[in-house]
Amino acid sequence: MTKDNRSLEGQTLGKAAEIGIKSQLDEVQEVEVDVDTQALELAQGKVDSVSIQSKGMVMEKDLRVEDMLLQTGNVSINPLSIAFGKVELTHPTDASAQVVLLEQDINRAFNSEYIQSKMQDLDVHLEGKPVKVDIQQVDFCLLDSEKVALSATMVITETGKNEPVAFTARPEIGEGGQRVVLTQVEYQDGKNLSPELTEALLERSAELLDLRNFELEGMTLKIQKLDISEGKLLLQTVACIEQFSP
């Protein structure tokens, strides 16, 4: 529904929800909430549907969401909450949501201070010997073969020597639909320098690609399907929404 076709009541509710959503984000390029309702329906606490479309959301762990589109069916709200600039649901509602992540944004998050701090001074085994290493400059590529390629530079603390690490893996839905996990790891040239190092990179990938990073307050997401194209990860999800704004 276009803004011109929305009722005044729907526009007022949508604006209140937009303000609430923006308050939860570190950055956002744009966010638009469309509320399909009429005055008589609203007085009875009835809303036909709500759609939320956002672009360039930056939330936890410096991870940017290129696009998010969420669509509900009928929603029941507390009419009195409108006077306080809120959209208070009388009971949770289900929705469908689509989340688009870009390769460049995943890379930015992988090399952020938060994630990099978790990849320093790691205890691993190289050629059967225990050593400490730092992982630097991670490169995460989304391939059109439904796989990802992950490479990094490993710095051995004791010697300062650099060792490249590279493998491909297949993303799958894990942990009850909450995360994207990497499986079926294949090493470049068949060479696995360190199982512990690989595990550390897989864990950081799963941490970044956790849907809880993208959930707004009062919302839970669950992955139904994922699709990979070159440079882009598309997550089809279902959502349970308890509130649209704090």
What tens digit of pLDDT does each residue of 196-220 get? Answer: 888 889 999 999 999 988 888 889 9
Residue type, 180: V
Question: How far is Cα 213 from Cα 232, in angstroms, rounded to an integer?
Answer: 18
Per-residue model confidence as pLDDT tens digits over 70-79:
999 999 988 8
Per-residue model confidence as pLDDT tens digits over 105-146:
999 999 998 888 988 998 888 878 888 999 988 999 999 888
Instruction: Name the band, by pLDDT with cuts 50, 70 and 90, for residue 230.
Output: very high
Rounded alpha-carbon distances, angstroms, from residue 105 to 22, 52, 71: 20, 21, 24
Residue type, 84: F
Q: Is the pLDDT of residue 240 over 60?
A: yes
Residue type, 192: N
Residue type, 74: N
Pull the structure tokens for residue 53: 């479309």
Of residues 173 and 24, which shows the higher confidence score? 173
Q: Is the pLDDT of residue 246 over 80?
A: no
Q: Is the pLDDT of residue 167 over 80?
A: yes
- Would you state the pLDDT for residue 186? 92
Instruction: Name the band, by pLDDT with cuts 50, 70 and 90, for residue 61.
Output: low
- Would you state the pLDDT for residue 44? 87
Q: Provide the residue count of the chain.
A: 246
- Residue indicated by tokens 């939330």: 59
In DSSP notation, 41-80 reads HHHTTEESEEEEEEEEEE-GGGPEEEEEEEEES-EEB-GG
Contact 20, 246 (CB under 8 A): yes
Instruction: Using alpha carbons, select from 98, 96, 94 the residue that is nearest to residue 69.
Output: 98
